[in-house]
Amino acid sequence: MGTKSVESEEGVICIFPMQVKDAPNTIRILEIYRNDEAYQAHLQTPHFLEYKQGTLHMVKSLQLVAMEPLAPEAMPLIFKKY
């Protein structure tokens, strides 16, 4: 999941799904984009739209939480693509 986006979309830095240890039916997905334009472009890609349609029956709730990095200068060290 997310591999195609990271490989083919310049503005997609990271898409990293994780399972909540004490609630294995709960999934959190960490997504990092270069900017809001990259995120909006990602939402329009055929592979995202296919993923979204294919997982609608699995999603019980969806909450998007906007975040700001505390140390943006560290991003290039963590993510070479950035």
DSSP class per residue in the chain: --HHHHHH-TTEEEEEEEEETTEEEEEEEEEEESSHHHHHHHHTSHHHHHHHHHHTTT-S---------S-GGGHHHH-TT-
Report whether pLDDT(58) > 80. Answer: yes
pLDDT computed for residue 80 by the predictor: 67
Its pTM stands at 0.80
pLDDT in tens, 17-27: 999 999 999 99
Q: State the average pLDDT for the chain.
A: 89
Looking at per-residue pLDDT, the higher value among 23 and 79 belongs to 23
pLDDT computed for residue 37 by the predictor: 96
pLDDT computed for residue 32 by the predictor: 92
